[in-house]
Structure 1
C-alpha cells in the first residue's frame, strides 16, 4: 500500500490529508475535521454497448501521483488512464488535482480531461460527500434550490433535488452549496458551472450526503472542471451567502439597481410599482396537449386592447399612481403561439392600432408598458419556420413537443435567437409601439441548451452567452428586461423576474404549484442579490411557488419585493399592495444583510437591510412589523 500524502498550506490554518489508495481526503481546520464519507468512491459513468457501466477511479490500471508547488499554492495531482470494461480498454485519460491557494486558503478541486471518446461519458462524480451524521437541529445542508432552503440533519422527510441538482436551473439558481455543523461550515462554489451540478441524498430522518457532479458538454468533458471549497468557523447560511456574494463581485457578476438605473432611468419608475399581469388573446390549438376537448369554448378567450385600456384608466382613478403592465397574448394568434413570427398584433383585438393605443395610454398614465415575448419555443406552423434553425440533438434529429397552447413546436437554436429578437423589436419600433419593458420567456429558468447542428453548433456556455446577447440588445434600447426566475448568470442583464418561488415537494405542473416546502425555506437568493433585481410576489395565500397556507404578502415584505396587482383590483387589494410598494421604494436598492428565525420558531422570521430597516413576520398569526434596527 502507498503511504498517505499530506498537503499543508503555508499558514497551516487548514490542512488536507489525501489518501492515494482510495482518493479520499479529510480537511482539518482549527476547530473541526471534515472527513470524507468512508464508503464513497469517486466514479465515471460510461455508456457502452447500450448499457451504463460505472468505473471507479481506483479501477484505472495506470495511476500516477505527483506533488506540486507554485507561486499561488501547493497540492497534488493524479493522472488516471487505462480503464477497462471487461477485457476491452476504454479510451479515457484524465487528471485530478487538489490544491490550497496561498491567498484565501481555499481548497481547489480540478478535473482535467486528457483523452476521451465523444459520447460515452454520462457523468463524473467527484469530489465526494463529507460524513455528515450529527442530528442536532443546528446542523444542516444549504441548497440554493429556487429561493433557497436548508435541510436539517434530522429532517423527517426524504429530499429529492429539483432538476437533478443541475446548476442554473430550479435545482440551483446559484452554482454553490454548503454545510454547517456545530457552527463550523464550508461552501462549495462551482467555478465552471455550465455543465455541472450536485448529487444529493437525504433519506427520511437520515444524514445528508452531497457531492459534485460533472456532465459532458457536446458529448465530452472537453474542458477543465473546477470547484472550490471555503471553510470557516462561526458561520451560518447567512455567512455562506456573503462569501458567495464576495466571489460574484470579484467576477463582475454584481450589478445593482442603482447602477442599472444610470443606463436606464426607467428602473426608478419600476421600483415601488405593482406588476399587472394581463393578456389579450388566449388560443389553444387542437394539436396542443392542453387543448380542452370537452369544453372547446375554453380554447379561445379574447379581450380587446380597448377594454384593457379602460381597465387601466379605472385603476388610475382608484389611486394606482404607477404600475408595470406585463401584457401576454398580444400576437396574431395569442399567447404561446407562432413564435417567433407573432406579427401583426391580434387583429380581433385591434391590431397595430389597438396595441399602439395601449402603449400610448400607459405613457399618459405613468404606467410602464411591457410585453411577453418568446425566443426558445419554435412553432412548426410559424410563418418563417425552418427546421435548419432548430436545436439539433446529438443524433441530428430535433425534439418536437406540443406542451403549450400553440401546439407542435421544437426549439430555436440560441445562436440564432439574437437575429430574431432584433428583427421583431425593430418591427415594433417601425409601427410606433413604444416599449418600456420586455419579458423574454424561459431564458432565465430552463436549462441551458446544446445544439449539434454543424452550422450553429452550441455548448451550454455559448447558449448562456447568446441569451445574454438577447437581453443586452433589449436593454440597449432603454427597455426594461425581464424573464422568468432568478437564475444568477442572467441577473447582471435583467431588471425584473416573474417570481422567486420556494422549492416544494409537489410536482411543478403549470400554475398549480403550492404544497409543502423542501426542507426549511430561507432567502438565499435575496441575501446575495436583493439590491440587484426587482421581484414581485402574489399577495395572497397559496400562491404559485408558496408553501401551502403561507401568505405571499408576508413573503413580499420579508424579502423586500414588490407585489402583483389584478387589472380589476378592488380597493382592499390596492391598499395591501401600497404597503408592499412603499417598503419596496425604501429598500429596493439596499442589501439584505441578514435573515433569521425568531425565538427558534420557523413561522416567526426577521430580515434586516443595509439601511437599518427591519421586517418581522409571523406566518402562523399573519402579522408583521416594519421598523429600524
Structure 2
C-alpha cells in the first residue's frame, strides 16, 4: 500500500505571518547584495493564500491539493521509486530517494514549504504539472489555456531557462475552483519544459552543477482564487517579506531625477552624425575629396569593418562625374563621421598646420586625450581640411539633434527619456546633451559589458576594453571547456565578477570632461541571461554572476547618481533600476528566418546598420505572422502580472526592437495597451521620423503623459475583463484612477455598463471621463 499523508494548512492574518517568518528559500538576495538600502517591511493589505489540505505520495511524489472537498493535482506522479527514511509529524513529512534526493514538505500558516536536496542526483525533475490554464510571468504576463491550439503550437517541445524567460519567480496553475501558485525559491539552474499533447503540460527541472556547493532548490505552494490579483499576491508579499521591494518614490529620495520618468515617453534619438548634409557645400567637397584628404579618408576607412568598399567605389565614381547623387552623399558622410571618431585621425603629414585650438590639444598628447577631447580635436582638424566645403563648426549636426530636441519641447513634450545608441554620440555632440538636460529630459548612453572582442572594433566599442587581458583571462567557460560565444556569436561573454575595474574605468573615461548625461542604460544585465563559469581560475556560479550584475547596476545608480535602466526587466533587478525595456514586448521570434535572415520576406524586420538616420531594424513597420500575433500581442491572453506587483516600483516598456510603431497595423492597439498597462511608448526618432510621427506622438502624449504621471506612483489595485470576448478590459491605479479600453473593432458596452467606442480608451478620475480614440490617432501616421 502506498504511503499517503493528509494535512490541513490554515490561513492567518498576513501581519502575523510577516512578523514571525523568514525567507525559507535560498534565492532571497539580501538587500546589501543588490545595492538597495535595507527598508522596513511594508504592511500588506491583502493576505496571501487560502486554507487547504494536501496529500502526498512519497513513492511517486504525486501532490494533491484539497479545498472545500475539491481535489486537484499540484504535481503529477513520477515513476514509482524506492523510498527510505520516511518521517512524518503533525506539520511535516520527509523522505529520501536513496542516493538521489532528500525531500521535505512542511506546512506553514498558509503555504507548503517544499525543499529538495540532492544527495547524488545531477538533476531532478519536479514538479510535473497539468492544469486547465496557466498564469505565467512571461514578460508582463500571460494566461495560457491548456487546450489552446496556438499556444500548443508555440510551446511544442520548447524548453525555457527559468531565470531568463520568467520575469518573476513563480508560476500558477488554474482550475475551475481555485489556483495553485508555486513560488520558486531558487531561480538558478532551472529549466521549464513544455509538452503539448494532448494539452499543455509543464515540467520543472533543476540541475546541480558540480561547481555549486548549494545542492538544494524548492518552492512555496499557495492556494488562491483565480483572479490575477489573488494569484500574484503571495509573490508580492514574498518580495516585501524579503526586503527587496523598493518603490520609485523611495528610489527618488536618493535621486530626484527619477521623477523625470513619470509621464515620460522613451525615445531613441538617432543622431550619430556630427557632419550632416546641410553642413556640406557639395560642389566644393568634390574638390577636397579629389585631393590629399580623400586619400587619407580612404586609408582610415580601410581600417574599419563598415563602409570601406562603398567609399572606394564612390570616390572613383565622382571623379568621373560633375555631381553627387543621394547615395554617394550618404557614403561620404558615413565615412567622414566614422573617421572623425578615430584615434588615428590626426597625422602630422595630413595636418601640418592645424590651427591654434587644435595645436593646444595636440600638445597635450593625442594618445592621452579623453574621448571627448579627442573628438573636439578631430572636429577642428576636419574643419581645417574641409575649409569652405563645410559650414561653421558650431552648426555641425545640430539640426537633427539639438534642434530636434528643441522641437520636441516646443511641441509640448515636457518630459522624455532620450537614449543614444552609443556614448560617443553624446561626447562628439555635448551641445545636444546639454539641450536635453536644459529642457528637463533624461538622456542616457547605451552601454554594455556582456560581450568582449579580442581586437578593438570602433563600430562596437562596448565590446572593447582597455584591459587587453580580459579576453583570455576573464571570459566564461562552459562545462565542456569551450568559451561561451558573445552576441551574434562574435567574441566571447565576459564574466561580470571580473569586470568591475573596467566598468569604473570606462564610466570615468566617458564622464571625465563633465558630459551632462543624467541617465545610463546597461544592456543585458536585467534579462536573466546568467552563467555558470567553469574556468578553473575564476569559477563562478549563476548566483555569483547575478550578484555581480546587480553591483554593476548599483554602481551607476548610487556612485554615479544616474537614473539607471536595463534590457528585459526581470525582477531580481527591480530594487536597483528605475526603468526596463522589454517586459511589455520582448524580442519577437528571434529564431524565425523570415524575420531575421530572409530579406525578401514581408516579415523581415530590417538591418541593424544604416549609414544615416534610424536603422530599418527599428524604423521599418512590418506585419508579424498570425501565430506571433496571438501569443505575443493578443490582449485576450495578456495579463498585468508584473504590474500588479511592481507598478509603483519600476517603469517597464517595450524592447527597443519593437517600438510603439514597429508592428504594421497594430499602432492603435499598442497605444491602448500602453494606457491600460501604464507603460511608456517607445519611439525611434530622427528628423524625418519626427516629421512623420509628430502629430500622432503629441496627440497620444497629451492623454498618456498626464495619466502615467499619476498612475506610476500608485499600486495597480485592480484588473478586470469586462466582455465575453476579453477585448474590453479595465485597470485601476490607487483608489481613484481607472482606465477602460476596447481593443475590438466594434463599439461595446462593458459589464459595468460603461459604453466604450471601438479601439478607444476611457480614463476615469474623480467622476470625470476622458476619451482617447486610438484608431483616429493612428491614422495621423498615414496622413501626416
Does the TM-score normalized on the shorter chain lie above 0.5?
A: yes
- Please give the per-residue CA displacement for 1:557-611, whole angstroms capped at 9, x wherever unaligned: 0011222343543233222223211111111111111212112222211111113
Question: Could you say which residue in structure 1 is the equivalent of 2:141?
Answer: 148
* 1:208 CA drift (Å): 3.1
Select which of 684, 700, 703 maps to 1:579: 703
Find out whether 1:129 has 2:222 as its counterpart. Answer: no
Cα distance in structure 2, aligned partners of 1:478 and 1:239: 37
Residues 546, 530 of structure 1: alpha-carbon distance in 2 compared, 3 angstrom cutoff: farther
Cα deviation for residue 544 of structure 1 reads 5.4
Partner SS, residue 254 of structure 1: coil
Pair 1:217 & 2:209 matched: yes
TM-score by structure 2 length? 0.65
Tell whether 2:118 aligns with 1:100: no
Counterpart in 2 of 1:28?
Answer: 66
After the TM superposition, which residues 144-293 of structure 1 pair with which residues of structure 2 at under 5 Å, given as runs? 144-157=137-150, 158=152, 159-160=154-155, 164-169=159-164, 171-203=165-197, 206-217=198-209, 222-232=214-224, 234-281=225-272
| Aligned ranges 1:39-118 → 2 under 5 Å | 40-41=77-78, 58=81, 63-69=83-89, 74-81=91-98, 92-101=99-108, 103-104=109-110, 106-115=111-120
Bigger-Rg structure (1/2)? 2
Quote the Cα distance in structure 2 between the aligned partners of 1:431 and 1:162: 53
**Shift in Å at residue 622 of structure 1?**
1.4
Could you give the per-residue CA deviations for residues 83-105 of structure 1, whole angstroms, max 9, x where no partner exists? xxxxxxxxx4321222222x22x
Number of residues of Structure 1 aligned to a counterpart in Structure 2: 555
Alignment partner of 1:443: what SS? Answer: strand
Return closer, same or farther for 1:285/1:28 CA change in 2, 3 Å cut-off.
Answer: farther
TM superposition shift of 1:504 = 8.9
Give deviations 1:431-469, integer Å, cap 9, x for gaps.
211221000001111521221223322111111111110
Native 8 Å contact 1:541 1:549 kept in 2: no
Structure 2 residue 421 is the aligned partner of structure 1 residue 328? yes
Kept after mapping to 2: 8 A contact 1:217/1:460: no
Is 1:317 matched with 2:410?
Answer: yes
CA deviations on 1:189-218 (whole Å, 9 max, x unpaired) are: 101112224333334xx4332232212335
Q: What residue number does 2:352 align with? A: none
Q: In 1, Cα distance between the equivalents of 2:578 and 2:669?
A: 25
Q: Is this contact kept in 1: 2:476–2:483, CA < 8 A?
A: yes
Cα distance in structure 1, aligned partners of 2:161 and 2:146: 22
The structure with more helix, counted as a fraction of residues:
2
SS at match of 1:320: coil
TM-score, length-scaled by structure 1 = 0.80
Equivalent pair of 1:175/1:197 in contact (CA under 8 Å): no
Counterpart in 2 of 1:479? 562
For the residues of structure 1 that align with 2:95 and 2:135, how far apart are their CA atoms?
A: 30
**Separation of aligned partners in 2, 1:185 and 1:124:** 25
Aligned to 2:454: 380
More strand by share: 1
* C-alpha separation in 1, matches of 2:520 and 2:663: 23
TM-fit CA distance, 1:161: 7.9
SS in 2 for 1:314: helix
**Structure 1 regions of 5+ residues with no counterpart?**
42-55, 82-91, 133-138, 331-344
Equivalent in the alignment of 1:89: none
> What does the per-residue CA deviation read over 1:169-193, in whole Å, with 9 as the maximum and x for residues that have no partner?
1x21111111221241110010111
Distance in 2 (alpha carbons) for counterparts of 1:545 and 1:468: 33
User: In structure 2, what is the Cα distance between the partners aligned to 1:546 and 1:93?
Assistant: 53
Residue 546 of structure 1 and its aligned partner are, at CA, apart by: 10
Displacement of 1:236: 2.0
Contact 1:218 1:450 in 2 (8 A): no
- 1:426-441 alignment, distance < 5 Å: 426-441=508-523
Instruction: Report matched runs for 1:531-570 at 5 Å.
Output: 531-536=648-653, 543=661, 551-565=669-683, 566-568=685-687, 569=690, 570=694
What RMSD, in angstroms, separates the aligned Cα atoms of the two structures? Answer: 3.5
| Pair 612,37 (structure 1): closer, same or farther in 2 beyond 3 Å | same
Range that drifts further, 532-541 or 597-606: 532-541
* Residues 371, 549 of structure 1: alpha-carbon distance in 2 compared, 3 angstrom cutoff: closer
For residues 60 and 681 of structure 2, what CA distance do their matches in structure 1 show?
A: 53
Contact 2:183–2:219 under 8 Å retained in 1? yes
2:435 to 361, 364, 374: 361
Q: Which residue of structure 2 lines up, in the alignment, with residue 409 of structure 1?
A: 491
Q: CA deviation at 1:305?
A: 5.5
Q: Which residue of 2 aligns with 1:336?
A: none
Q: CA shift at 1:548, angstroms? A: 5.5
Alignment partner of 1:499 is 2:573: no
Deviation (angstroms), 1:33: 0.8
Where do residues 609-628 of structure 1 align in structure 2 (5 Å cutoff)?
Answer: 609-620=733-744, 621-628=758-765
CA offset digits 1:345-400 (Å, max 9, x no partner):
36xxxx84x34322322222222121100011112213534311111222333234
